[in-house]
Chain A
Amino acid sequence: MADAKAGAGNAIVGMGRGSYAMLLVFFLGPAVVIYTVFSIYPLLATIFNSLYLRQPDGAYIFNGLGNFQTLLTDTTWSAPFWNAFRNNCYFFLIHMLVQNPIGLALAAMLSLPRLRFRATYRTLIFMPTMLSVVIIGFTWQLILSPLWGISKMFLNAFGLGFLFAPWLGQESTALITVSLISVWQFVGIPMILIYTALLAIPEELIDAATVDGLNQFQAFIWVKLPLIFPTIGLVSVLTFVNNFNAFDLIYAMKGALAGPNFSADIMGTLFYRTFFGNQLQLGDLSMGSTIATMMFLIILIGIMCYLFLIQRRMQRYSF
């Protein structure tokens, strides 16, 4: 191994400037090109567009941070924006409070030593994650339909029919319902990540805890849980990024208007309507870019908070 490294080092030292540059291009070139074309350029172009204002005649003039001011202060824009932002925060909160704890609990149960049909459970729970969002959205719409949905009949069968409500159609419940469907779909991801982290904890550590007088549950709380904090942090960041970029499930189930009365509207759908236009609303390149830039900033701030406030204090353990 050491020899191989030294060999590679010598090869580079003995190389001419030109061929060293060629080597760099060969190894780094593809990644640089792909990132530039599909990530860096669109991001910069979006920020650039957000600084221009569209005139009634279709021309664009430089507007500085004016668009941002409009978005945050002009009620025509700020009301939907803050509504979408608030809804998005709820959407994220529901995932953090429901999806991740359930994922953790499922992972803990999957790693119980005497569990049978482990692989079956794992596959079944992970299955919805692999299905298309469109299929998930459509299926749940049918299940929850007040006209022919089985959920109503199901509740009726247990004499609980009075509990049924058109959850997707009520302003007060549409967002929660969509969030819970998303939780149901993606709970497999925190489960698998945490399950993998739990598997890496050596058996002897739990034996030691057992000898120290802890039962399975206490060993989980006092020994396993602190050791998987880094993974839980990672899961939280993934949830945050995915939730604030979410669009597809809401669009599939509630359309671009995310109704009723925008009660399920999140940043993604707001951006979609603004940028591409919807029904009577015309597409607006610059305001759409402004919203996209705000989404980027929100995620950026969230990630930075995580990196500087949490990640730094977290210990990673090797066993």
Chain B
Amino acid sequence: MSEVKIEKLCKSYGPVEVLKDIDLTVEDGSFVVLVGPSGCGKSTLLRSIAGLEPVNSGNMTIGGKQVNDLPPAQREIAMVFQSYALYPHMDVYNNMAFGLKFAKTPKAEIDARVNEAARILQLEPLLKRRPRELSGGQRQRVAIGRAIVRKPQVFLFDEPLSNLDAALRINTRVEIAKLHKMLKATIMYVTHDQVEAMTLADKIVVMNNGRVEQAGRPLELYYKPNNLFVAGFIGSPAMNFLPAQVKKGGTLALSDGQELKATLPSSCKTGDSVTLGFRPEHMTLGGTGNFALTGTVDIIERLGESGFAHVRLPSGQTIIAEVRGDPRTSSGQSAKLTFNAENLHIFNAEGRRLG
């Protein structure tokens, strides 16, 4: 059992609250990804769990054991850092064995664990090398190896891929996913890259301003974001938002006077101001759909297999729509965007999801 439970965790630097009442459970063997914009507190949360940052109040248990007052080494965690943080003056073997030596582990046991980790990560030929003789990807693997040999209850990854180049990042992402399957390890993983979050996670925790905005399975966050922040954060390019007003008879009036007919959730009342959200990938240029918006194409970003049309509505707002293939439309032309009612997200004035 290596469940991580966090209850009412608060942390502040002087008057600045960086973590506010965090409640989070990481189930045994699950892969939880913390995402959010810079400064949202996701790294601080991870470092607090590791014991590298003191917390003000709240409770943390790892594997049923309360760890609030334990030093990092006794929390049975292992951490992989963004810069890998390998000891430059030690070879790969000693980098992995260093912590074990300090814990007075018997020599044979250290040997066995390091060799096992080296085998799993294909580091065997590199054991005698220094970190500076390794490539970025190899250093990354050594950092993971250093975590594995500790046999921790939970692995903590702090943006481990952000120092790798794009191609290597995709490879390593897959490696980490495989490793998780093989080791059946409990993993907490911080990233600002939502592709990493979507592909790796059993559960994504979206954080903003020191709070958990929503925690759930990746597709749940994609299809049913709880609020405007999560809706805007998950998905790329971001979800389009338009303000609207609920009119008599269940229609939605946009600010430019257009009216859309939709089946509204029962909590919508006539006269309410709401925000409509629809994802670029659910819109088509031309085509048919329940809803249509017309505007002028500002620019089209062509990526090859698809493109993104930035369309300016008469009200001045810009909507991004994904267009498949190579659209003929070019800048300056008028365009009609359509989408289906089932893909519409409606948020109330406080930004909460309706329905």
Contact = CB atoms under 8 A, between A and B. Distances in A.
A205 B98 CA distance: 13
A94 B73 CA distance: 40
Interface in A213-240: 213-214, 218, 222-223, 226-227
Contacts of B73: 210-214
B26 to A, nearest CB: 18
A207 interface: yes
A318 interface: yes
- Among B72, B78, B146, the most chain A Cβ lie within 10 Å of the Cβ of B72
Interface residues on chain A, size class: 20 to 34
Nearest to A319: B88
Interface string B79-109: 1011101111100000000110011000000
A309 to B, nearest CB: 19
A227 B52 contact: no
A212 B83 contact: no
Contact of A210 (B72, B82, B87, B89): B72
- Among B77, B85, B103, B132, the most chain A Cβ lie within 10 Å of the Cβ of B85
Contact of B132 (A202, A213, A317): A317
Given A317-B132, A318-B132, A213 B103 contact: yes
B50 interface: yes
A204 interface: yes
Interface string A291-308: 000000000000000000
A207 B85 contact: yes
Interface in B112-158: 130, 132, 146
B99 A212 contact: yes
Nearest to B103: A213
A208 interface: yes
Given A213-B103, A227-B89, A319-B88, A202 B52 contact: no
A313 to B, nearest CB: 13
B89 A212 contact: no
Contacts of A226: 89
A202 to B, nearest CB: 6
Given A210-B72, A211-B78, 17 more contacts: A204-B81, A207-B50, A208-B85, A209-B87, A210-B71, A211-B73, A212-B102, A213-B71, A213-B72, A213-B73, A213-B99, A214-B73, A218-B102, A226-B89, A315-B89, A315-B130, A317-B132
